[in-house]
Chains A and B, each alone.
Chain A
Amino acid sequence: MVDTPEPILERVARQEPGAVDEMMARFGGLVWSLARRTCSDPTEAEDAVQEIFVEIWRTAHRFDSSIAGEATFVAMIARRRLIDRTRRKTRRPQSVALQESAPDPTPPDDRTEVREQAGVASVAFEKLRPEQQQVLRLAIHHGRSHEQIAATTGMPLGTVKTHARRGLIKLRQLLEADGFEMPQTVGTTGGRNP
């Protein structure tokens, strides 16, 4: 059994030497993949990834392992930044270009937590209705807008949104029912994002 690594974000928040490099090594692949799916070209993705890591570094002190896993926290910040960039620039997501450089030789270590979270989510996702799966996959994995999904699938715009909404809410319910650690949606300590 592989030991779960110490939460790197807590070390980043404490400004421990080397923690930032470790964070980028641990989550660089994930953030890069997310960025490449929504950014129009590698240069833009590079800018976005740098911006995302600076934002993660800035907000690492807000990470709470009782609320979300580190990979989820990282992906949440990354997605917010990427969606914001896309909307501000009103660029459409484009297909991934051929890779021109050698991949980062950094070994994909410390991925235990990522795999665990991914596995739990994957099982729950399979329980959604096929059309909900389709819409959420296109939106979240491929970065498609609801207009693009409607055009691609032939679904009415409102139906696309409905599938996404119900799918996400159902997914949350399934994860909570499966005992996956998720904070209460409604509670006395809720409120705004940082």
Chain B
Amino acid sequence: MTDAARQNEGDRLPMPPDEMFDLLADRAAFGLDNDEATQLDALIDRHGWVREDCLDEVAALLAVSFEEADAASEEMPADVAERIRAGVHAAIDAGDPGVLGRIGPADPTTGDAPIAPAGGGGGVMGWLGWVAAAAAIAVAVMVANPTETVRPQNRAQLVAWIDQHPTAVQWDWAPGLVDPDEDATGLVTFDPETQEGYMLIKGLEPNDPRFQQYQLWIWDQEREPDPANPAPLAENVHPVDGGVFDVNGEGEAVIPIDAKLIVGKPYLFAITVERPGGVAKSGKEHVPLIAAPPSDA
């Protein structure tokens, strides 16, 4: 059945294809591989009024039901619970803005300290909450993987990290193509082997996360329809979402990259300005920074 044939007479929204619900169900039950995830992202972009977590909720509810009914469910050991509790609090308490993807003054008050919601009741998490949340993720990773290298938090540590990751690409930021930021500087580095990466950014214009956030995009040559001839501006080329982040005030910060899909061979990075939470596919109306290999590379 075509989209046109599935037209909803009430609001003129074309009903999404069955394929979209198939993928939503597959994701809820089994997860998706990279190709399927890309396919679903494209469908979600075209049918943005569909609640993409509608079947995730059903699966989650079912999971709760199964666990509740299963007498054999394993209880969390007390020592494990204590370690997790300590780890989560350590993550929350480590409110170092240098780690977080937020540039600006640090507020020493973190963790469970009360904050005023930035967007009203149940609304957008405030500045402090975001700071602590992002730090939490950083520290959680470190706690969970004690044998891995420490996440770099400043330029010197990032340089050391790059030295330890010879397979990582490393390119300087340059003004983007649309609304370029001529003042921002820094670099982006990503190691396809470990799927880790960081942005060093200085001087990017602050954003108000209630209205917009910065989002990183990574073009992966291995995802190109024609890998030998990458075409970042082609309609059928979709960069990988590298995560959203915020900037506040002046300063320099190391921001971890949160690639949503495996990136095999990055060849272009771009920062766009998007709505809070980011988007699945950027309209690229604002692209303040890009990073690519030097032309003589």
Residues A103 and B75 in contact, CB atoms below 8 Å apart:
yes
Q: A140 is contacted by which of B63, B84, B88, B145 (Cβ under 8 Å)?
A: B63
1/0 per position for A102-139, CB-CB distance to B under 8 A? 11111000000011011111100100000000001101
Question: Are B52 and A34 in contact, CB atoms less than 8 angstroms apart?
Answer: no
A58 adjacent to chain B (CB < 8 Å): yes
Q: Are A192 and B279 in contact (CB under 8 A)?
A: yes
A contacts with B: majority SS = helix
Chain B contacts for A121, CB-based, 8 A = 61-62, 64-65
Task: Please tell me the size bucket of the interface on B.
Answer: 35 or more
Q: How far is the CA of A79 from the CA of B80 in the complex (A)?
A: 20
Instruction: Check B182 for interface membership: any CB of A closer than 8 A.
Output: no
Most buried by B among A106, A117, A192: A192
User: Is B263 an interface residue, CB under 8 A from the partner?
Assistant: no
**Which one of B16, B74, B141 has the greatest number of beta carbons of chain A within 10 Å?**
B74
Q: Is A54 a contact of B30 with CB atoms below 8 Å?
A: no
> CB of A19 within 8 A of chain B?
yes
CB distance A42 to B61 under 8 Å? Answer: no
Residue B112, interface by CB 8 Å: yes
Residues of A within 8 Å of B266, CB to CB, are none
| Known A54-B91, A80-B56: A164·B115 in contact at CB below 8 Å | no
Q: Which residues of B contact A88 (CB under 8 A)?
A: 195, 262
Residues of B within 8 A of A169 (CB): 21, 25, 55
What residues of chain B lie closer than 8 Å to A30, measured between beta carbons?
64, 67
Known: A30-B64, A53-B88, A190-B49. A20 touches B112 (CB 8 A): yes
Question: How many residues does chain A have at the interface if contact means C-beta atoms less than 8 Å apart?
Answer: 94
Which of chain A's residues has its CB closest to B112's CB?
A17
CB-CB < 8 A to A178: which residues of B? Answer: none
Contact present for B31 and A47 (CB under 8 Å): no
Q: Could you say which of A46, A61, A73, A187 contacts B51, with CB atoms under 8 Å apart?
A: A187
Known: A47-B144, A51-B144, A80-B56. A117 touches B114 (CB 8 A): no
Q: Is the CB of B63 within 8 A of A165?
A: no
**Are A75 and B61 also in contact (CB < 8 A) when A14-B115, A32-B75 are?**
yes
Residue contact A187 to B125, C-beta cutoff 8 Å? no
Q: In the complex, are the beta carbons of A171 and B62 less than 8 A apart?
A: yes
Interface string of A166-194 (1 = CB under 8 A from B): 00110110010000001111111111111
Q: Quick check: is B28 within 8 A (CB to CB) of the other chain?
A: yes
A51 to B140, CA, bound (A): 6
**Interchain CB contact under 8 A, B65 and A76:** no
Q: Are A76 and B53 in contact (CB under 8 A)?
A: yes
Report if A161 contacts B (CB, 8 A).
Answer: yes
Q: What are some 14 contacts across the A-B interface (CB < 8 A)?
A: A13-B122, A17-B112, A18-B112, A19-B112, A29-B76, A32-B81, A54-B133, A102-B77, A118-B64, A164-B29, A165-B26, A165-B29, A192-B48, A192-B280
A interface residues (Cβ-Cβ under 8 A, vs B): 10, 13-21, 24, 28-30, 32-34, 36, 42, 46-47, 49-51, 53-55, 57-58, 61, 63-64, 67-69, 71-73, 75-76, 78-80, 83-84, 86-88, 96, 99-106, 114-115, 117-122, 125, 136-137, 139-141, 145-146, 161, 164-165, 168-169, 171-172, 175, 182-194
